[in-house]
Structure 1
Amino acid sequence: MPRTDQQLAELREESRTRILQGAMELFARYGYTKTSVRMIADHTGIAQGLMYRYFASKEALLRAVLDSFMQQVAQILAEAGTASDPFEHLAQIIRLSFELIQQQPDSWQLFYAIRVQPDVVAGLHEEINILSVALMQQLEIPFRRASIANAHNEAAILFAIIDGVCQQYVINRTIYPLQAVTTAVLAKYSRATLTGATSQ
């Protein structure tokens, strides 16, 4: 019995997801330069020729992998932004960010590798910088909603904390005390701490 259009579309999406996941794993493990399309094909069990039906080149595949990761980060910010209370908004950003690093450590590892190799793909470093600015602007929102002084600076500090924690987890994921660090960061950005600091 021939497959329906919906079944074919689902199969295509499944194959595309497998390619993205496999590419992300290998890029993170071996680096973009040392990973070939053939390696990704062997890793995913998808024919190399078929892969080119989804992605025109290895560069296009890398961009798609990073775009998928960026979308997850954007989703975190959007989900956190649904909180009516600005302090809960901050707490959600922190919790969800650290949950994502646990769920997608290879994605973060690849993201950091690309950040320190700006010439790997032309224009990619600029795109990452644009994303960083956009993330900073989103982080400012709960501080402004809570009427915290120097919201821009506070957002920059929180961005640096989240970024640093994620980098440390990627490097030492088997021993890094992520849960304890999460608790400490949440306490630092709690209503009691922030309002106490601003009232002095």
Structure 2
Amino acid sequence: PCYALYHTNRKLMLEPKVTINARIVVVGASNVGISFLETFIFCPHLKFNNLTLISIHGLPGRNLLNTGQRKFLASDHCFNDKDYALMSLCSWVNVVVGKMIGINRAAKHVILSNEKIVPYDHLILCTGQQYQVPCPTEADITKLLTNREIEKDSRQRYTGKVPSNLFTLNDEEDCLRALKWMNENFIPLE
């Protein structure tokens, strides 16, 4: 079994730490967000009392997928499940499960999709790379246009009903949902 061994000596125990009570909110459990929190947690001279992580699926590294199922996602080799277990982020960080939909800078709070409000003193945005449902360009396919000839609008987002067989695989939860759908719709068939 995996274990975490933290060594402290007398010098580190008796050395005074400066307590930081500022509300630091990190949005997104990307590699940058996790690295940021890890650096703050293990800072030898500072003690952060109020670290919060806002993530759609909570803390990563819950070992949801086995080795064969992990092939859905590309590995960046920054953190693996053992690294997450050794860090024990849940001991040091308040985790808010939700999706950020807005920021009120004047009131210094973040608005979540379930209408909850998370106040902050310092806000760190580490959303990582996320894929979205592709938006149809409504180009006339009979004219055989190239990509250069199609007008692009970077603000264009698909807001229609997403088909049940279209999946955007951003994390392990999305992969599990796609795998479950494939097992229900293809495995029982001849």
TM-score by length of 2: 0.26
Between Structure 1 and Structure 2, which shows a larger proportion of helix residues?
A: 1
More contact order relative to length (CA 8 Å, sep ≥ 6): 2
Return the index of the structure with the highest Cα Rg.
2
Higher fraction of strand: 2
